[in-house]
């Protein structure tokens, strides 16, 4: 396995993955470390056993329904260590992949989340599922500088236009962001500030916006006006922009993901909470871009502060064999 930095070989601009990595919530609990800047997390009145049962049920049902729909799911039953990883169910924050066979790992802001980064085990799981990994690249050296970039948690990517959208925060450092964009050959980065009613920035861009091949969902009211116009103008060039309210964002309407099935059909994965919060008109708009797939992940949402999109690590790696 190569770890030296290389220029990208040949990255195909495909917006939607037809394969995702999902991680079972076997150590899942309220994460005090991430709660410092994640206002979406909540304590719940459930026993440890109830939390484990409910979250595992939510996870298994989601895996089953995605596979039934024709999306390949790689279950990454990661090796446990001495340090618990309560947020391992959100794998999209520590890795990304490209169609040239490159796999990237990222610097995570919280110490217990840094323990989730297990590239060797992930490569084994991906290759066993029929995917080809040509090289592994790491940006974790930035940890020494206290600079973080939590992958597609903080980067919402328009692959077709080679553009990365990112809300700057403690978890999204501009320098690391620019470095990653350069490495994968994406020539445009649109970074911006955000502010919640508390005055704090959004912890992850993917709770406020999602990009599909021909649409975008965005809570633009959290972006300062002088930057908001530029972001919306950029998106509206070739996307149908669906604006959501702060309340809809809090119910994870921005945390959705367009995927492809093995037959090439488009589907849009979202939580039941998000589905119920979209207006009928917005659901009608979204349904023109793919079949809507709502999943009940309420326990994971409430305790973890992340939803369906966070649970899906997209896989763009080349395929050796087609298998579900």
Q: For 93-149, how does the pLDDT look when each residue is reduced to its tens digit (9 = 90+)?
A: 999 999 999 999 999 998 888 989 999 999 999 999 999 999 999 999 999 999 999
Pick the range with the lowest mean pLDDT from 189-193, 256-260, 305-309.
305-309
Note the pLDDT of residue 54: 86
* Mean pLDDT computed over every residue of the chain: 90
Q: Residue 4: which pLDDT band, with cuts at 50, 70 and 90?
A: very low
Note the pLDDT of residue 104: 98
Quote the percentage of the chain above a pLDDT of 90: 76
Q: What are the residues facing 68 on neighbouring strands?
A: none
303 versus 160: the higher-pLDDT residue is: 160
Pick the range with the lowest mean pLDDT from 72-76, 114-118, 158-162, 311-315.
114-118
Q: Distance of CA 72 to CAs 90, 103, 209, 242, Å?
A: 17, 18, 24, 28
Burial of 295 (0-12, 13-18, 19+ CB in 10 A): buried
User: Edge-to-edge strand order for the sheet containing 19-22?
Assistant: 72-75, 19-22, 313-314
Rg of the chain (C-alpha set):
18
Return the structure tokens found at 297: 């992940």
DSSP assignment of 223-270 equals S-HHHHHHHHHHHHTTSEEEE--HHHHHTTTT--EEEE-TTS-EEEEE
- Angle at 90 (CA atoms; ends 153, 261), nearest 5 degrees: 85
Residue 46 pLDDT exceeds 80: no
| Nearest 10 degrees: Cα torsion 216, 217, 219, 225 | 20
Note the pLDDT of residue 7: 45
Task: In whole angstroms, give the CA distance from residue 83 to residue 46.
Answer: 23
Pick the range with the lowest mean pLDDT from 76-80, 96-100, 256-260.
76-80
Return the structure tokens found at 18: 């037809």
Domains detected in the chain: 19-314 (3.75.10.10)
Pick the range with the lowest mean pLDDT from 30-44, 180-194, 238-252.
30-44
Three-state secondary structure string covering 134-193: CEEEECHHHHHHCCCECHHHHEEEECCCCEEEEECECCECHHHHHHHHHHHCCCEEEEEC
Residue 13 pLDDT exceeds 90: no
Three-state secondary structure string covering 25-58: CCCCCCCCCHHHCCCCCCCCCCCHHHHHHHHHHH
Task: In whole angstroms, give the CA distance from residue 15 to residue 191.
Answer: 20
Note the pLDDT of residue 45: 65
Q: Residue 44: which pLDDT band, with cuts at 50, 70 and 90?
A: low
Note the pLDDT of residue 35: 42
Task: In whole angstroms, give the CA distance from residue 172 to residue 155.
Answer: 8
């Amino acid at each position: 396995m190569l770890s030296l930095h290389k220029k990208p070989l040949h990255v195909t601009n495909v917006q939607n993955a037809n394969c995702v990595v999902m991680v079972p919530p076997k150590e899942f609990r309220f994460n005090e470390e991430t709660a410092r800047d994640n206002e979406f997390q909540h304590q719940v009145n459930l026993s440890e056993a109830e939390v484990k049962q409910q979250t595992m049920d939510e996870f298994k049902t989601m895996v089953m329904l995605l596979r039934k729909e024709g999306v390949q799911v790689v279950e990454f039953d990661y090796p446990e260590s001495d340090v618990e990883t309560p947020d391992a169910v959100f794998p999209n924050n520590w890795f990304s992949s490209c169609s040239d066979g490159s796999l990237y790992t990222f610097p995570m802001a919280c110490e217990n989340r840094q323990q989730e980064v297990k590239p060797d085990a992930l490569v084994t799981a991906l290759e066993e599922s029929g995917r080809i990994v040509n090289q592994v690249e790491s940006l974790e050296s930035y940890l020494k500088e206290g600079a973080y970039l939590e992958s597609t948690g903080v980067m919402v990517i328009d692959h077709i236009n080679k553009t990365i959208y990112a809300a700057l925060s403690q978890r999204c450092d501009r320098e690391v962001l620019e470095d990653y964009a350069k490495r994968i050959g994406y020539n445009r980065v649109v970074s911006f500030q955000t502010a919640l009613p508390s005055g704090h920035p959004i912890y992850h861009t993917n709770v406020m916006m999602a990009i599909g091949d021909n649409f975008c969902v965005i809570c633009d009211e959290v972006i300062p006006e002088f930057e908001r116009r530029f972001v919306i103008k950029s998106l509206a060039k070739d996307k149908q922009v669906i604006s959501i309210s702060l309340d809809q964002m809090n119910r994870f309407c921005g945390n959705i993901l367009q995927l492809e099935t093995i037959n090439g059909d488009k589907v849009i994965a979202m939580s039941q909470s998000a589905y119920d919060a979209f207006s009928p008109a917005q659901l009608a708009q979204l349904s023109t871009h793919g079949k809507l797939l709502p999943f009940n992940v309420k326990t994971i949402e409430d305790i973890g502060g992340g939803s369906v999109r966070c649970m899906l690590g997209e896989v763009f790696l080349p395929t050796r064999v087609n298998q579900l």
